[in-house]
Chain A
Amino acid sequence: DSGVTQTPKHLITATGQRVTLRCSPRSGDLSVYWYQQSLDQGLQFLIQYYNGEERAKGNILERFSAQQFPDLHSELNLSSLELGDSALYFCASRLQGACGYTFGSGTRLTVV
């Protein structure tokens, strides 16, 4: 167990639907990073939050959004899902100033 918890582990949903992925960072870590891993695109950075505020955006679609709550857990919302959104979604957390990033086990999203 890395200390970063992601739920659910698996999610199967239909096109056009909306889902929410959840990430609880390691205790004490203020930063949360979301990544999408797909077969053709590899690991793509989506978005970062630090202590509740958005810090950086990467290749995140407008249909996707995220937030970080006061208890530091984060949610990634994916809407109007398309087949191409099927991927593994990872979150990672990091303590400010520290080098190491700790990854969760990911949520495998399948859009049918």
Chain B
Amino acid sequence: AQRVTQPEKLLSVFKGAPVELKCNYSYSGSPELFWYVQYSRQRLQLLLRHISRESIKGFTADLNKGETSFHLKKPFAQEEDSAMYYCALRGWKGAQKLVFGQGTRLTINP
């Protein structure tokens, strides 16, 4: 079964502090992992894919297959980072639908 777990529903940090949003997954195989961001209940926007190994808006995420994790990190939080963040998994078989975690609401305090 495909499952994504984001253990923190809410996360609050101060501006300039480091941020880490946790994501753990369950999948019998090699999945593809994504992070999506949603500002004020707008459309979901792709933030990162583990395959591309890129840094967007200062965020990075490394796939750790041993720990089945894909945590999202940023060294210095900015106020505009306040949003809802969803970790998602896609398997390689069948419909290849995205399975989302429950999301973490990140609030950056000034």
Q: When the two chains form their complex, are residues B97 and A33 in contact, meaning their CB atoms are under 8 A apart?
A: yes
Task: Report the contact-size class of chain B (Cβ under 8 Å from the partner).
Answer: 20 to 34
Query: What A residues does B97 contact at CB under 8 A?
Result: 33, 45, 48, 56, 58
**Does B56 reach chain A (CB closer than 8 Å)?**
no
**Contact at A56–B45, with CB atoms within 8 Å?**
no
Contact (Cβ within 8 A) A42 B101: yes
Give B36's nearest chain A residue, CB to CB.
A103
Please tell me if the beta carbons of B49 and A42 are within 8 angstroms of each other in the complex.
Answer: no
User: B1 interface residue, CB < 8 Å from A?
Assistant: no
The A/B interface has a contact count, at CB < 8 Å, of 49
Q: How close is B40's CB to chain A, nearest CB, in angstroms?
A: 11
- B70 an interface residue at 8 Å Cβ cutoff? no
Q: Are B102 and A42 in contact (CB under 8 A)?
A: yes
Asked if B32 is an interface residue, CB under 8 A from chain A, the answer is yes
- Taking a contact as CB atoms under 8 Å apart, the answer to whether A100 and B103 are in contact is no
Cβ-defined contact, B95 with A42, below 8 A: no
Smallest CB separation, A46 vs chain B (Å): 10
Q: Which residue of chain B lies nearest to A101 when distances are taken between CB atoms in the complex?
A: B98
Chain A residues, CB < 8 A from B36: 103
A106 and B95 CA atoms in complex are apart in Å by: 21
Chain B nearest CB from A19 CB (Å) reads 19
B17 in the interface (beta carbon within 8 A): no
Tell me if A104 counts as interface (CB < 8 A to partner B): yes
Q: Does B44 contact A (CB under 8 A)?
A: yes
Q: Is the CB of A90 within 8 A of B44?
A: yes
> Please, which residue of chain A has its CB at the minimum distance from the CB of B95?
A56
B42 at the interface (CB under 8 A from A): yes
A42 touches B41 (CB 8 A): no
Q: List 11 A-B contacts (CB under 8 A).
A: A2-B45, A33-B97, A42-B101, A43-B103, A45-B100, A88-B41, A90-B44, A92-B98, A99-B49, A100-B46, A101-B46
Chain A residues packing against B (C-beta within 8 Å): 2, 4, 33, 35, 42-43, 45, 48, 55-56, 58, 88, 90, 92, 99-101, 103-106, 108
